Amino acid sequence: MDKISGAFEKVKNYQAVEKMKMLVGMEVDDEESTDVNNSTDESSFSFMDDFNRNCTLSTKQRIQGFVICFVAGLTCTFLSMLVFFNPIKFGIAFTLGNLLAIGSTAFLIGPKRQVAMMLDPVRIYATALYLASMIIALFCALYVHNKLLTLLAIILEFGALTWYSLSYIPFARSMVSRVMVSCLDTEF
């Protein structure tokens, strides 16, 4: 009886470890066979599957990568405030900070899962607006060199970032929408 309960404990521990791996975006180890016939199956994997398989990081490395990338993103964002009156430099630093901050979460959950979450039907429009606003801000800052357009693009980018971030909080966007409608309602 002790052997059976010990076996159940091992299964529970294994399942807990597998759930933790899935939670942080690590690939769950399936039974791997060394059969030569499976070589054709491996070639049918997509690029992202191959990329995820070759770029496995330990939990410590994932956390370190997240912290480094997130701190670098916050630093760029806060340093952009120093050059606020030069909208071109501000736009570049602010957008780079946003890209680093968004990219930092890929260390925790993996790039494939990050893209899947960004393309989730709940937040696909917020993601598209956010990425488009970053592209517009960089375009206005690097090619157009118009301070007013760059400033408007940064305001759009900040609004899109807020809306995108709210998509990860349940019911946050509907609550903010209701508050905005009630604040802008002119009827008394």
Q: What is the pTM of this model?
A: 0.64
For 12, how many CA atoms within 13 A lie in the half-sphere containing its CB? Answer: 6
Q: Could you tell me if 94 and 137 are in contact, meaning their C-beta atoms sit under 8 angstroms apart?
A: yes
Q: Which burial class, exposed, middle or buried, applies to 110 when counting CB atoms under 10 A from its CB (0-12, 13-18, 19+)?
A: buried
Q: Could you tell me if 25 and 58 are in contact, meaning their C-beta atoms sit under 8 angstroms apart?
A: no
User: Which one has a higher pLDDT value, 181 or 8?
Assistant: 181
Interacting residues of 125 by C-beta distance below 8 A, sequence separation 6+? none
Give the Cα-Cα-Cα angle 112, 40, 54 (nearest 5 degrees).
35
- Sequence-ordered alpha helix ranges (H) in the chain: 2-23, 39-43, 47-54, 59-80, 87-109, 111-118, 124-139, 147-166, 172-184
The pLDDT mean for the chain works out to 79
pLDDT given for residue 87 in this prediction: 82
Going by C-alpha positions, the residue among 100, 130, 132 that lies closest to residue 118 is 130
Residue 88 has pLDDT above 90, yes or no: no
Nearest-10 Cα torsion for 28, 30, 54, 124: -50
DSSP state of 188: -
How does 69-86 read in b/e, with b if 16+ C-beta sit within 10 Å?
Answer: bbebbeebbeebeeeeee
Domain ranges of the chain: 67-170
pLDDT tens track for 93-145? 999 999 998 899 888 888 888 899 999 998 999 999 999 999 998 998 888 88
Compute the chain's Rg from CA coordinates: 22
Residue 55 has pLDDT above 90, yes or no: no
Residue 154 has pLDDT above 70, yes or no: yes
